[in-house]
Amino acid sequence: MPHRRLFRILVLALSAVLLAVSVRFGFADAWLDQYAVPASAELQASPEPGDASAAQASESGADVPIAPKPAVLSNRVTEYHISVVLGDDGTLTGRQTVTWRNPGRKPVSEIYLHLYPNAFSPGSTFLKESGGQLRGDRMKPGSYGSMTLTALTTEQGETLLPRLHYTQPDDGNASDRTLATFRLPEPVGPGEKTTLLMEFKVQLPQVFARMGKAGDFVMAGQWFPKIAVYEPAGTRGRASEGWNTHQYHGNSEFYSDFGIYSVRIDVPEKTKVAATGFQTRPAAIKDGRKIYQFYADDVHDFGWAASPSFHFVEDSFSSVGVPGVRIKLYIDPLHKDLADRYMHAAKSALAKLGEWYGDYPYSTLSIIVPPADANGAGGMEYPTLITAGAAKSGSPGYDLERTVVHEIAHQYWYGIVASNEFEEAWLDEGFTSYTEDKLMASIYGVAPNPTVEASYMTHPEPLKLDSWRYSSSDRYAENVYMRGKLVLKAMEKQLGEKTMNKIMRSYFQKYRFKHPSTADFQKVAENVTKAKWNDFFQAYVYHGQMADFAVESIRSEPAEEGGYRTTVLLRRNGGSPQPVTVMFQFADGSTLRKTWDGVQNHVQVKLNHARPLSFAAIDPSNSVILDNLRYNNYLKAEVPEKARTRLNIGLSKIIDGMLGILAW
């Protein structure tokens, strides 16, 4: 009995010490709120002194808490506890403690930080490469943004700010401050952790490129100092472990480690906040301010948006692969009557994704519809949170649904699989665009036309390419989004939809929460099909080719034994070998179909028939998805000599006559 009493006393003392430490840094609520009580019990609790309006703050339904799930799904390399205040002047003032665990096998002596808001500062690489515009949206002149790190200390209070310096490993641009590094007082051993305390201030630009302020609307994306990814050997084929460090570029998006986020957001009283994860308690109102507390685990980013104008709608949903999720809509007033369309798109997309690929592992999904003057915040993905297209029209077409299902598909390929968008953006954008087409066809009957889409591919470039190395932003989008999905569609056409679905599901299941590479995806395809895909990936992924099958020439001549002997020359000018159908039509209207294996670069086909050949056509059913030069797939037989002579004389007379008129 005395031992048990002593044990209880020690536990209580330790708890008091931990609480005191957390209070010192202002994170007591964040620490405690990881262990939220069930929603029913929380709502019945009495408000704290001075928080008499807390119950009223929950009237919209946005503040109903959800208890976290105990399962650990990722390696949880990082743990962030952040407290941020939104100022009336468009600033964010924050402080955070972040704990980083060394996932490698060697001691680590330095840390790299992404300071993304500095992309909106004069001279940044992002502004130089983008020209101040992104996806048709232009940055307003003089509307700059920035991030200032005002404090950086160890857990013991030693300042590290003098050690901080900016680095530009990609382009050497000394004016770029989106990536910084500093040396630690002591190396962090394998599996060991270090905890850092930071204070920072962000000046929000006018909404542009997923970030900023427009009137009373705020989009906070990439808004806090974020530790870069330290990749152990073997990650994405890496030979030796080390930091994956890149600046913020005109085309690039992001890459982060999985972890835990506990975030306290302090906003003006009338403001509603949508954020990654879920609330662990109803928002409290005090002294004209409203304080939210959010928690998320097994995510690699945290985004949020705020506005007093949001129209809020919430519903619960579950299906096969979706154990149970609360879908929360934060809608610009112009679209408040369209809530059913947003909700239907979200539920339908989640149901299909869960059925096709696997479980949606989170308990919430928030959808933000920005106002018209915040167009740059639209069409973006964050873990458990997406932004739809900005509300510009009161009666939008299918673009509303297409944007929603696209961004929800990102929850799987960006959010859960978590590819490196700096170096292999197609693994996110191409996969998401492919999935978007499948969702739109399955849910709304809106099918794509890959033949037409392939014709847009005027400048194919490799898919496995650093995002900033594409020759332009248009070429980046053309390849990473459009050609990326066409490559997957081409695989599906060769294999059949059932086998392709198996590849995609196997890839998702094997690499969820693991940062896979293009090579990893190829291995899955080969394991499922029991075939090699080297030629295909070399041509279309690593070398940026398109398919090009052509009828080079046709020659028909009378045969001594009667009838006609025809020789047709077929060529494969680009792409990887694949079987292709060739149709031959003769002068009597009869047709013949043959299959060419496409292995050789060229082949001669010899035909004997009672009548001469009229024309030959390769792939008449448009089965070769990646053929973007279809004008040479068809060729008529050679014109007889007499007709060709008459045509030449006629053309000569027409040209002479036109020249005479011009001279006169």
Tokens 């339904």 -> residue: 61
What are the start-end ranges of the E strands in 269-320? 272-275, 278-279, 284-286, 289-299, 304-307, 311-319
Q: Assign 589 to helix, strand or coil.
A: coil
For 264-286, write each residue's pLDDT tens digit.
999 999 999 999 999 999 999 99
Q: How far apart are CA 110 and CA 471, in angstroms?
A: 33
Q: What is this structure's pTM?
A: 0.87
pLDDT (mean) for 633-638: 91
Q: How far apart are CA 385 and CA 411, in angstroms?
A: 8
Is residue 16 scored above 70 in pLDDT?
Answer: no
Class of domain 432-541: mainly alpha
According to the annotation, is 410 in a ligand binding site? yes
For residue 622 the two structure tokens come to 């448009």
Domains 75-257 and 548-636 are alike in CATH topology? yes
Closest CA to 262 of 232, 295, 240, 237: 295
* Higher pLDDT pick, 252 / 246: 246
Three-class SS of 225-237: CEECEEECCCHHH
Closest CA to 518 of 429, 432, 427: 427
- C-alpha 341: how far from chain center: 23
For residue 120 the two structure tokens come to 């909106």
- The domain locations on the chain are 75-257, 432-541, 548-636
pLDDT (mean) for 139-158: 95
What is the predicted pLDDT for the residue at 35? 28
For residue 211 the two structure tokens come to 């970030």
- Cα-based distances in Å from 543 to 170, 460, 561, 574: 22, 9, 49, 11
**Overall fold of domain 75-257:** Immunoglobulin-like (2.60.40)
- Report the amino acid identity of residue 46: S
What is the predicted pLDDT for the residue at 18? 41
Q: How far apart are CA 613 and CA 585, in angstroms?
A: 6
User: 548-636: which CATH architecture?
Assistant: Sandwich (2.60)
pLDDT (mean) for 132-148: 89
According to the annotation, is 429 in a ligand binding site? yes
What is the predicted pLDDT for the residue at 66? 53
What is the predicted pLDDT for the residue at 67? 54
What is the predicted pLDDT for the residue at 553? 95
- The mean-pLDDT minimum among 22-26, 152-156, 566-570, 621-625 falls in 22-26
pLDDT (mean) for 105-109: 98
What is the predicted pLDDT for the residue at 658? 42
Q: How far apart are CA 132 and CA 141, in angstroms?
A: 9
* Higher pLDDT pick, 61 / 577: 577
What is the predicted pLDDT for the residue at 266? 98
Q: State the catalytic residues.
A: 407, 481
DSSP character string of 87-143: -TTSEEEEEEEEEEE--SSS-EEEEEEE-GGGGGSTT-HHHHHHTTEETTEEPPTT-
